[in-house]
Amino acid sequence: MHFRSVAAAFALLFFAVMSVTAQTKTVAERLGYPANAKLLILHADDLGVARSVDAASFAALDKKAVTSASVMVPCPWLTEVAAYARDHRDADFGLHLTLTSEWKTYRWGSVEAKDNVLSLYDPDGYLWKDATLAAGHIKPGEAEREIRAQLERALSLDIRPTHLDSHMGTLFATPELFAVFAKVARDYKLPFLAVKVSDERNKLLALLTENDIVLDSLVMAAPAVRPEGWKEFYAQAIKNLKPGLTEMIVHLGYDDAELRAVMEEHPDYGAAWRQRDFDVVTSPDFKKLLDENRVILIGWKDLKKLVQ
């Protein structure tokens, strides 16, 4: 018994030392890259929302123009994403946890039974239209119930999530919602989107543990970027990347009749926007920029290995 106790003590000490050692290394070093490497996750949002979005995102994944994507489980084209995931086992799909439904005439509800998550619903009977309204009404316990239902629905369709993030940032809107987000991710042993920022959201970092992975920066086109400056925005973003871990979020789609109908009167993140994003990230010029600036592309599935 004495020998076993000593052996157990040494084992615990070993794992404690290994844990401390891992936390003193950068994410790049933990993944086997130099400490000053520029790591970039090129990430496509909103799969499942429309067939056009799915088709463009699948094309970008097939071309390796993006390294990961995330899925909106309550949306109608979920089963198409599930079929692709079953045929492409190496595809890096996270869940874009969805507590809002923002389009003018194209709306959806929850995965969980409505009566169990009534605070998620607006007076019209759909999820709230924006993150501010949602955060002002949603009860954290009901948010947790819904995002667990979304996870279980994805798993039932054989989508194996590599990470969790939040549609429209709703789960970053309050500390209470972010705490639910982090709790569920840890329960499923998944990395989740958390970024070092300089604004009020820095308070959310206090809710993290030393085992959580925090991105150094996030890049995403905003409405202030004019269509004629689209390529230049992304070019400058790549040229200005600093060593560390960055995620670049793009919104892909084809500017076709379906997507124009879905995103009616919504130029921000609308059909033309998504076509521009697709054209940029799948272009030879963009790949050349990545190579010239020594950017190393990784996926969320690489971070998942560190968590698990």
Of 107, 102, 173, nearest to 143 by C-alpha is: 173
For the cut 70, the answer to whether the pLDDT of residue 17 exceeds it is no
CB atoms under 10 Å from CB of 245, counted, come to: 22
What is the mean predicted confidence (pLDDT) over 160-188?
97
pLDDT at 205: 81
What is the mean predicted confidence (pLDDT) over 171-194?
96
pLDDT at 206: 85
Separation between Cα atoms, residue 266 and residue 268, nearest integer Å: 6
What is the mean predicted confidence (pLDDT) over 137-160?
98
pLDDT band, residue 21 (cuts 50/70/90): very low
pLDDT at 23: 54
8 Å CB contact between 72 and 101: no
pLDDT at 188: 97
CB atoms under 10 Å from CB of 33, counted, come to: 16
CB atoms under 10 Å from CB of 81, counted, come to: 27
pLDDT band, residue 198 (cuts 50/70/90): low
Q: On the CB side of 89, how many CA atoms lie within 13 Å of its CA? A: 0
What is the mean predicted confidence (pLDDT) over 161-168?
98
pLDDT tens digits, 94-144:
999 999 999 999 999 999 999 999 999 999 999 999 999 999 999 999 999
Q: What is the value of pTM for the model shown?
A: 0.90
pLDDT at 5: 38
For the cut 90, the answer to whether the pLDDT of residue 174 exceeds it is yes
pLDDT at 196: 85
Q: On the CB side of 54, how many CA atoms lie within 13 Å of its CA? A: 19
pLDDT at 298: 98
Average model confidence (pLDDT) for the chain?
Answer: 92
For the cut 50, the answer to whether the pLDDT of residue 4 exceeds it is no
Name the more confident of 35 and 206.
35
* Whole-Å CA distances, 31 to 102, 170, 189, 303, 304: 37, 30, 18, 8, 11
Separation between Cα atoms, residue 268 and residue 112, nearest integer Å: 29
8 Å CB contact between 182 and 212: yes
Reading phi first (left if > 0) and then psi (alpha if -120 to 50, else beta), residue 64 is in left
Separation between Cα atoms, residue 11 and residue 17, nearest integer Å: 10
For the cut 80, the answer to whether the pLDDT of residue 15 exceeds it is no
- Single-letter residue type at 26: T
What is the mean predicted confidence (pLDDT) over 277-296?
98
| Portion of the chain with pLDDT greater than 70, in percent | 91
For the cut 70, the answer to whether the pLDDT of residue 229 exceeds it is yes
